[in-house]
Structure 1
Amino acid sequence: MKITQIETFLVNLGHRNIPYVKVHTDEGIYGVGEAYSCGPDKATVEVIRDFAEWLVGRDPRDIEGLWQLMYAGSRFPGGMVLNAAISGIEHALWDIAGKAAGLPVYRLVGGKCREKVRVYQSPRGDTPEELADNAVALIEKYGYTAIKMGPLPPGWQAMPWNRVLRETEKRVAAVREAVGDDIDIGLDPHARIFEPGRALQLCQVVAPYRPFFVEEPLRPENYDALTKLSQHTDVPLATGEMLYTRHEFRDLLKLQAVEIIQPDICVTGGLWEMKKIAAMAEAHYVSVAPHNPCGPVATAVNVHFAASTQNFLILEYHADDEGPRREIVDEPMKLVDGYLELPEKPGLGIDLNVEALGKYPFRSWHRPFSWREDGSLAYQ
């Protein structure tokens, strides 16, 4: 079996553009994948097209070797764009391998550790009341046993810090009261706090409400600062969405800086790289809760990872039951009472609706910029 062509599709799902990949072979089997929406999404597509020149004519089932060709063959260690491109292609290679073997992908990477995959979704709301109401509505609609929320109030970068802490406590308290004691609540300040002391104060404010974890309480570049924070709080800390490959997770795990890592299967190097990262984490008694903010193909790949990984904890999820997310795939992963069912189809168990992809063309996009009161740029 040989790769004959690699197609790319840059699709706008409303809040971001997502690069999709379709790898064709000379035996008529094809695979689909999803690369991360890094921001310069056209750059990711161009890297995928460049890699296609390296991969055409090779056996798609040689996944480890092709991964090394793309990663090490690029000479310099990749950043988000290169690793996103590798990830999207790698997903499609696993899809081909599963279809060729007549097995779902999780059967090829260790088999089942579990029968279903626990997921959470994030409610929105500017006020504590709106946030609490939306959390309850999500739980009632989809049966979630966990949610994740942004604890910081809107416009917090321009507020006095003491007010930020007061408003944060109100938001978390309102959601805890609304959902009860048995729903896990993750908190995500989105890596926007710079000083460990302020991050510690935030953890102290939310600690009475027993958060499931606090995600990215600090910027991710300085592992020592994160370690310092972890030594002064009992709140479980999580990070990892902006780290790439096992090499960037190695020192983080060695320092025991967090209890939970959150690699993204669309940017850290793909499914097989995530398995390697998870194995490293398991040896350090760390759980894996994958970052998954993008599209339905990414969710499918994550389901195969979660099914076959013992120290998987929970998966970030966006409902795929309506709108463009539902239209661009033949059949999304099935959600039942807050858990995704494992697919039994060969490969990833999901396919792209190519005709629908064309209805949602690329639109220029970036995260909204945040500004402090003095006019300086805040962390995004």
Structure 2
Amino acid sequence: MKITSLRTYLVAPRWCFLRIDTDEGITGWGEPVVEGRAHTVAAAVDELSDHLTGQDPMRTEDHWQVLTKGGFYRGGPVLSSAVAGIDQALWDIKGKALGVPVWQLLGGNVRDRVRVYSWIGGDRPEDVVEQALARRSEGFTAIKMNASPQLEFIDTPAAARGIAERVASVREAVGDSFDIAVDFHGRLTVPMARRVLPLLEPYLPFFVEEPVVPEMSDHIGEIARSTSIPVATGERLYSRWDFKKVLGQGIAVAQPDLSHAGGISETRRIAAVAEAYDVSLAPHCPLGPLALASCLQVGFATPNLLIQEQSLGIHYNTGSDLLDYLVDPSVFRYEDGHVALLAAPGLGIEVDAKAVERAAETGHRWRNPVWRHKDGSFAEW
């Protein structure tokens, strides 16, 4: 079997899909994207296709090694995201060729279902109590929320207490049998993290995510030691070498993104290294169905999986949503806050290729917002 072509599709709301075709009629799909840089990643895929066209798609590991290390300049989100989508598609082809789901190729399932959580509140969290109760009524057992809008380097006591009050209101509404993860999106500085996180401890968050930007990863241990709350990070770390810098510092949850961190192959390795540090895996995935299917395939076969993010109804999904490009959306049916084992070969989903082609005719140019402080200076989004 040989690869005959690679084609990318930019589709709403902010995704990039990749289709890899073979001379035996087996097609693999992946999701290579950096949100806000989708065109750039698509161009990287096109450049990498020079190596892949005419090659055997079954050699997933060799292709991963060549694509990530064959160029003199390595690493970074664009290259690793391009490789991630290619890697997903190659595993999809391999599973389909062998007639088994990818989790079977990763050693078999260690669980029969994967717990998932849902987003509430948006970038500037509003109506979080009402939305949390709605998610609970839909059967979810966990949510994630942003804790605040932009924050100053050292913000006021009112801003710090406002974060705590917001989390407290959700905890009071949903009770103690429901998990609340709090995402800071890197909006805290190290001093603000030391101020804010102890205020959240009485409400027992599931974890606090990315309290500081990845450039401050050398301080993540200081933050972890300052609080009893489990600290999660990793959506902007792109390899096991990036994670090596944080795993020994006391984080509790590693969050590689399967569309950024080298795909199924590299995330599987990150999970194994994390397990050696007693760190659980909760893959970052505010993206589309191919990214989620890839995450689930890893999750079914990974002993230290904690929970899986999914994007149905997330505030970014305007104009299109998670299930719109699937022939059978029921594969992602959520029951009691879980997704059942995906049984179909490959990634376990069937892409509606015609719907993808129609959406790609319009495409998108999604960009994340640029926030500013009251004095006009740049603020972390």
Tell me, in whole angstroms, the C-alpha distance in 1 between the residues paired with 2:88 and 2:123. 36
Larger deviation: 317-326 or 329-338? 317-326
Summarize the alignment of residues 82-231 of structure 1 with structure 2, pairs less than 5 Å apart: 82-124=79-121, 130-141=127-138, 143-152=139-148, 154=149, 156-157=151-152, 160-194=155-189, 196-231=190-225
Amino acid at match of 1:260: V
Q: Structure 1 length as normaliser, TM-score?
A: 0.94
Q: Following the alignment from structure 1 to structure 2, what is the Cα–Cα distance between the partners of residues 368 and 22? A: 29
1:283 aligned to 253, 264, 276, which one?
Answer: 276
Give the RMSD, CA atoms, in angstroms: 2.0
Q: 1:320 to 1:336 in 2, by over 3 A?
A: farther
Tell me the distance in 2 between the aligned counterparts of 1:320 and 1:378.
Answer: 26
1:271 to 264, 268, 277: 264
Separation of aligned partners in 1, 2:23 and 2:15: 27
Q: Which amino acid aligns with 2:30?
A: G
- 1:41-77 per-residue CA deviation (whole Å, 9 max, x = no partner) reads 1110011111111101111010000011110012222
* Runs of 4+ residues deviating >6 angstroms: 125-129
Letter in structure 2 aligned against 1:367: N
- 2:153–2:188 contact (8 Å) kept in structure 1: no
Whether contact under 8 Å (1:203, 1:235) holds in the other structure is yes
- Alignment correspondent of 2:64: 67
Identity %: 39
**Cα deviation digits, residues 173-232 of structure 1 (max 9, x gap):** 1100111111011000111122x2210111111110001101011111233211111122
Q: Which moved more, 1:263-272 or 1:342-351?
A: 342-351
Q: Deviations over 1:76-104 (max 9, x none)?
A: 22211111110001101000000111101
The aligned residue for residue 3 of structure 1 is: 3
- Normalising by structure 2, we get a TM-score of 0.93
Contact 1:32–1:351 under 8 Å retained in 2: no
Contact 1:157 1:371 in 2 (8 A): no
Q: Distance in 1 between matches of 2:103 and 2:59?
A: 17
- The separation in 2 between residues aligned to 1:19 and 1:25, in whole angstroms, is 20
Whether the aligned pair in 2 keeps the contact of 1:119 and 1:317 (CA below 8 Å) is yes
Q: Which runs of 5+ in 1 are unaligned?
A: none
Q: CA deviation at 1:156?
A: 4.6
Name the counterpart of 1:300: 293
C-alpha separation in 1, matches of 2:97 and 2:253 = 35
User: Where in structure 2 are the equivalents of 1:206-355 lying within 5 Å?
Assistant: 206-254=200-248, 256-319=249-312, 323-332=320-329, 333-355=332-354
Query: Tell me, what secondary structure is at the counterpart of 1:36?
Result: coil
Cα offsets for 1:105-137 (capped at 9, x unmatched): 100011011000000011126998711011110
Bigger shift: 317-326 or 49-58?
317-326
